[in-house]
Amino acid sequence: MFKLILGLGNCDIQNIKALVKLYAKAGAWMFDVSPKMLPVLSQAILEENLDPDNYKFCVSIPVEGDIHGKKAHIDLKKCKKCKKCVKACPQGAIEDFVVNSTKCIGCSICKKKCSHNAVKLSDDTSYYKEFKEVLKQGIKLDCVELHASVDDEKKILGLLKKISKKYKGAISLCISRKHFSNLAAFSLIKKAQKILQDNLDFYVQADGKSMNGADKELSSTLECVAFALSLKDLGFDEKKIILSGGVNEYTKNLCEKLSLSPLAFGFGTYARNKVKNLDEQQALEVALKLVKDVSEA
């Protein structure tokens, strides 16, 4: 199944609406947005006269320190206006050497491109508060995802506990091997399952290299598949695994070769970039192919 990840930091309403409408028509199964953007997701589906019950709505919350919850800032005293960051930003978020925080997804590409140490990344800590606000609005919500690519187990489980007190639907834990070995990740999952025993369902989003999906690039997808495979080997139900972070056109094929059948494939930057700058018809053809390829998994 196909999950479209809109980008936790992405609050560009027009961009979100256009992507949701496109991938909903193409047959996506789940959409993942920041809590603040849940009403926008819901509205986009209704504007297309589609039945919301045919889709799963997910909101993401980052643990402090996780890359998805970061925002970039440019120090104009250090900036030499070389434009390397402007050209490299996948979101087109840098205008006149100022980062538009509405568009920034915290990918840190700008920081890596800057030779003058002018870019800083800091945590946006507003997501949990926005999640509580959105719960009060009573909008359809099928899953809450915790982005937990940090090395602090206590912090992860603490936030998970707080979320599960407010929300008893499905919860997804997005973790990677950046900070945990296979065994440590599995042990964390077991502890999370215990905390979430009263929740409707529990998924693990096995993250590879966040925001790294690329065309014709096998290496970008290897890490998430390898991680998912190790969780399966340790006894975690593969049908509760969603792959993300480097997912691309090779992922499904790789999974089949390794006899791995995950619940879903989470496409983020890759799916968004694939349809960028295409006209409506071309974009729909690309989206249909991408969704069809993984939906047959």
Strand partners, 145: 60, 172
Q: Binding ligand SF4 by CB under 6 A: which of 15, 34, 42, 91? A: 91
**Which range binds ligand SF4 by CB under 6 A, 46-54, 90-98, 142-150, 277-285?**
90-98
- The contact pattern for ligand SF4, residues 68-87, with x = CB under 6 A and - = no contact, is ----x-x----xxxxxxx--
Cβ proximity to ligand SF4: between 107 and 134 the closer is 107
Question: 118 or 264, CB closer to ligand SF4?
Answer: 118
Whole-number minimum distance, CB 124 to ligand SF4, in Å? 11
* Options 21-29, 108-116, 136-144, 154-162: segment touching ligand SF4 (CB under 6 A): 108-116
Q: In this structure, what are the phi and psi dihedrals at residue 228, rounded to the nearest 5 degrees?
A: -60, -40
> Any contact of residue 99 with ligand SF4 (CB under 6 A)?
yes
> Angle formed by the axes of helices 182-195 and 153-166, to 10°?
30
Nearer to ligand SF4 (CB atom), residue 98 or residue 200: 98
Least separation, in Å, of the C-beta of 56 and ligand SF4?
Answer: 26
CB 210 to ligand SF4: min, Å: 11
Question: Could you give the CA distance from residue 167 to residue 93 in angstroms, rounded to a whole number?
Answer: 33
Does 97 contact ligand SF4 by CB under 6 A?
A: yes
Distance CA 288, CA 239 (A): 23
Burial of 6 (0-12, 13-18, 19+ CB in 10 A): buried
Helices (H), 2-83: 13-26, 38-47
Spell out the alpha helix ranges (H) of the chain. 13-26, 38-47, 84-88, 109-113, 127-137, 153-166, 182-195, 219-233, 251-257, 269-274, 280-295
Residues 117-136 that bind ligand SF4 (CB under 6 A): 118-119
Among residues 94, 174, 196, 228, the one that binds ligand SF4 under rule CB under 6 A: 94
Is residue 263 near ligand SF4 by the rule CB under 6 A? no
Closest CB to ligand SF4 among residues 83, 168: 83
- Given a contact cutoff of 8 angstroms between Cβ atoms, the answer to whether 234 and 182 are in contact is yes
Q: How far apart are the first and last CA of the chain?
A: 7
Q: Which of 33, 61, 110, 206 binds ligand SF4 (CB under 6 A)?
A: 110
Whether 101 and 74 have beta carbons less than 8 Å apart is answered as: no
What DSSP character marks residue 144? E
Integer angstrom CA distances of residue 291 from 16, 99, 111, 273: 17, 32, 32, 14
User: Of the ranges 46-54, 103-111, 219-227, 259-267, which one interacts with ligand SF4 (CB under 6 A)?
Assistant: 103-111
The residue among 70 and 252 lying less far from ligand SF4, judged by its C-beta, is 70
Interacting residues toward ligand SF4 by CB under 6 A: 72, 74, 79-85, 89, 91, 93-94, 97, 99, 104-110, 113-114, 116, 118-119
